[in-house]
Amino acid sequence: MRKVLNIRAALVLLSCMMVLSCDRHRNMAGYDFMPDMVYSQAYDAYSENPVFRDSLSNQVPVYGTMPRNQVAFRYNVFPENRLLAGQTLLSREQMIMKHVFEGKKLYTTFCSNCHGESGKGDGFLITSKKFPETVKVGNLTDERLVKASRGELFHVLTVGYGLMGSYGATLSEMDRWKIIEYVKVKLQGQELGARTLAGFNPALSEAYEDFEARIAKDFERTNGVGPVTSVSLGPLNQAWVSEGEALFKAKCSSCHKPTKKYVGPAPLGVLDRRNPAWIINMILDPEKMVKEDPVAKELLNRYLAPMANQSLKEDEARKILEYFRTLE
Ligand code: HEC
Ligand code: HEC
């Protein structure tokens, strides 16, 4: 008896569903039972976005954060950093033939469309003239790049080079090393896993982590470029603090807010990031600093707008520094 009832119930349900799913005009899809799951509420990557203050959906990652497993890369795109990277960077793992084969796959996916299978620059995007003819991809097997160390190529892949974009965010560190090993061994015919090359400085061959730690210290130590080489801080001078604050309001507040990022970085905590002499030199001659000092160069890279020279005297800059000491 129960079975029969169940079958009947099922039949009734089925016919109800059939009736419901019939529609007189066929250009209507019928009912959405859960519309919020059918239609995505997500913003498109390049659409305008009312949620964020700058109206962009694609947000830059918070400064100082990075995805899991990513390693900080302290060399920006400047050529001297490429050379430095070339002299100091080695893959953390010893490369073996397996890596070369894996590198080949990655190369085919990520590089051969421009550089060609042979590396000579005859990739499809070039031969099909999808790029203007003025774009030259260069030949990965030419003398200059055969001489370039693996670290230099790592720099090229990580931050990009000229017209070529960067792969720092697309390819993991290890994948970049694998591609490089493939280029070196198969395209350039070099020895596998050779960790040194012409121009290599053994004094700089410290482990990657040690190098990272040292360079972080160098950044703390640097005085920047300018007349000031040391500053003694001593106990807080209240008179200077108020004079410094007034100067800051008059000369700097168009670009700096004391505790918030604005056109330039917030001075809050600047004494933890930089040496006091560096700060004074930056205030005295920012143009020289962004040209010659590596930290200031990186800052300019990040903030894009250059800092304006306010023609302050050294003692005025020192008073502003005193005011910075009181920020919290
Ligand atoms: C969309 C096209 C394109 C892709 C994809 C591409 N490159 Fe390039 N690559 C270029 C161009 C263009 C240049 C030359 C840039 C210049 O001279 O301004 C270049 C230059 C280079 C250089 C030479 C740097 C020098 O000093 O001359 C190397 C090395 C290199 N690419 C490696 C790679 C590797 C490895 C990949 C794959 C991860 C790759 N490229 C993917 C377009 C591309
Ligand atoms: C025209 C806008 C502008 C003015 C005016 C300006 N700055 Fe800057 N400041 C910047 C920018 C932008 C940076 C980031 C470096 C760069 O892009 O060159 C910066 C960087 C700095 C830094 C380094 C901060 C860090 O985190 O390392 C200090 C210190 C500084 N400014 C202090 C001052 C002081 C003091 C004044 C006033 C005398 C001042 N600035 C006036 C725009 C300005």
**Residue 151 identity:** G
- For residue 25, the model assigns a pLDDT of 64
CA 207–ligand 2 middle distance (angstroms): 35
For residue 183, give the ligand 1 atom closest to its CA: 35
| 175-185 pLDDT tens trace | 999 999 999 99
Distance CA 153, CA 159 (A): 10
Distance CA 196, CA 178 (A): 16
Chain mean pLDDT for the chain: 83
Determine whether the shortest distance from the Cβ of 154 to ligand 1 is under 6 A. no
For residue 176, give the ligand 1 atom closest to its CA: 38
Distance CA 135, CA 152 (A): 22
Residue 281 phi/psi, 5-degree rounding, is: -60, -35
- For residue 205, the model assigns a pLDDT of 42
Those residues whose C-beta lies under 8 Å from the C-beta of residue 247, and which sit 6 or more positions away, are 312, 316, 319, 320, 323
- For residue 219, the model assigns a pLDDT of 54
| 42-71 pLDDT tens trace | 888 888 888 888 888 888 777 777 777 666
Say how many C-beta atoms besides its own lie within 10 A of residue 228's C-beta.
Answer: 20
266-288 burial by CB neighbour count: b if 16+ within 10 A, else e? ebbebeeebbbbbbbbbbbbbeb
CA 115–ligand 1 middle distance (angstroms): 7
Give me the tens of pLDDT residue by residue for the chain, a chain 328 residues long.
567 778 888 888 888 777 666 655 666 666 777 777 777 778 888 888 888 888 888 887 777 777 776 667 878 777 777 878 887 788 878 889 999 999 999 999 999 999 999 999 999 999 998 888 888 888 999 988 988 889 989 999 998 888 888 898 889 889 999 999 999 999 999 888 766 543 444 444 444 445 445 545 555 567 888 999 889 888 999 999 999 999 999 999 999 999 988 888 899 988 877 889 999 999 999 999 988 887 788 778 777 788 999 999 999 999 999 999 999 8
